[in-house]
Structure 1
Amino acid sequence: MAVVLGALFLLSSVAIAHELILFPNKVAKKTAVTVIGLGLTAGQEVGLRMMMGGVLSDVSFLAKPAIEKVDAKGRVMASWGVNRELRLLANGDHEIMLVDSDGNTIATTMLTVAKPPKKKK
């Protein structure tokens, strides 16, 4: 994983389009997901949103550190402990949006939820 993240940061030093990456992007149970935004404007205020329970929800504060501002190299990086959100998410793909301070979508990616089967008693 360190090699992957290192390569991503090296790539972020060249001009690239806005990109949002989740690693891993498939979850079935409580999982620490690394959130990486690249190619952004330094100092820009940003947030992370997704539909949960039929409502567009700001999930920026669920990441550690909270996703709030782009660093001097045009990136954001945080760890999101996906856990309680799984109760509100159906199996399948869910769009995650990186948005600016006006709520405009900058970049998107997908989070796939595959809940494990219930244990038989």
Structure 2
Amino acid sequence: MVDDRLSRVFSALADPIRRDVVARLASGDATVNELAEPYPVTVQAVSKHLRVLEEAGLVTRGRQAQRRPVHLEAEVFDLMTKWIERYRREAEQRYQRLDAVLAELAEPEQTRAEGEVP
């Protein structure tokens, strides 16, 4: 089910370390050790974060000889973008309707102001 996957993705991205890992992987693959370097946590803790990202479908782990790079799965962002875009469009339509109502309310005031002689 799409909503379940979307929930896992948003839940995975709720953690600041995981969001930062995703941002770093956007510029290229990296190993667990490379990803763990800037954080004040153990490599095992970063591995757990990666497991959450992997279960959400945001990353995959490959194998290149002795190296096991972590790869960002960008198509998951299409799922998020479609969901966000749907609600953005709905909100935009509500604002357009509100603008129309406010314009109608302002018309009588403008008519009165134009009819007045100073």
By relative contact order (CA 8 Å, sep 6+), the higher-ranking structure is 1
Q: Which has the higher helix share?
A: 2
Q: Which has the higher strand share?
A: 1
What TM-score do you get using the length of structure 1 for normalisation? 0.24
What TM-score do you get using the length of structure 2 for normalisation? 0.25
